[in-house]
Chain A
């Protein structure tokens, strides 16, 4: 069978020393300084071919909004406490995912679902520190 180095088999997520049996991980990076976050101040006086003009918004994003989150689903009986902090590590096949070795996090949201004829499933969203 051909190797599929881009698949997620062998992925491990740890919060501190606790390893979770994860079934899904979504990592989102959003640049808070991206052009999409600026004000478009282009006007009709610009000539054809001119660049779109943007201007920084007068207010900055909150300090705690790093633009980086990890959302993951796991199997387990314990709910992860909201607002708890620690370090997050993700490894794939024993190798740390780039940028995900002991990254400081704060738990934004956490849910635990108990349903008939199913495993107990949890979901958490972590806000990562920008390093």
Chain B
């Protein structure tokens, strides 16, 4: 039976992203460099959209913290670097925030 995507919490470095409405995890990224190494330049990205606050500031851009998901069949955590923050305001609507993290393989 399918898992309902509800009751989800998302934190980055212990700070909650609030009123999250969309999560897209694209893990894997590019292939490892070298035959005997798991190192790759790109380990994938995680995009999160929320209505209230992404709870990050641009001063934290490039910082690596633990991005953790709980509930709704999404329970997992990974180290991730905060990369981009997008804010969108639209007439007669609420503000929307999109934040992108880059997965770090350690």
Q: Are A47 and B19 in contact (CB under 8 A)?
A: no
* Closest-CB distance, A56 to chain B (whole angstroms): 10
> What A residues does B91 contact at CB under 8 A?
59
> What A residues does B10 contact at CB under 8 A?
44
> Is A58 an interface residue, CB under 8 A from the partner?
yes
CA distance A53 to B51 in the complex (A): 12
Q: Are B7 and A43 in contact (CB under 8 A)?
A: no
> What A residues does B19 contact at CB under 8 A?
41, 43, 45
**Given A50, A55, A57, which contacts B6 in the complex, CB threshold below 8 Å?**
A50
For chain B, the bracket of interface size reads: 20 to 34
Interface residues of A in 20-68 (CB under 8 A from B): 39, 41-48, 50, 55, 57-59
Main secondary structure on A side of the interface with B: loop
The number of residue pairs between A and B whose CB atoms lie closer than 8 Å in the complex comes to 41
* Closest-CB distance, B36 to chain A (whole angstroms): 40
* Closest-CB distance, B77 to chain A (whole angstroms): 16
> Is B72 an interface residue, CB under 8 A from the partner?
yes
* Closest-CB distance, B41 to chain A (whole angstroms): 30
Q: Are A44 and B92 in contact (CB under 8 A)?
A: no
CA distance A43 to B51 in the complex (A): 8
Q: Are B20 and A55 in contact (CB under 8 A)?
A: no
Using known A-B contacts A44-B20, A44-B21, determine if residue A59 contacts B92 with beta carbons closer than 8 Å: yes
> What A residues does B8 contact at CB under 8 A?
44-45
Q: Are A45 and B92 in contact (CB under 8 A)?
A: no
Q: Are B9 and A45 in contact (CB under 8 A)?
A: yes
Interface residues of B in 1-51 (CB under 8 A from A): 4-10, 18-23, 50-51
Q: Are A57 and B50 in contact (CB under 8 A)?
A: no
Closest chain A residue, CB of each to CB of B4: A48
Please report A residues at the B interface, Cβ cutoff 8 Å.
39, 41-48, 50, 55, 57-59
The 5 listed contacts between A and B (C-beta, < 8 Å) are A39-B94, A41-B94, A47-B7, A55-B94, A57-B93
Please report B residues at the A interface, Cβ cutoff 8 Å.
4-10, 18-23, 50-51, 72, 91-94
User: 5 shortest A-B CB distances, which residue pairs?
Assistant: A44-B8, A43-B19, A47-B7, A48-B6, A59-B92
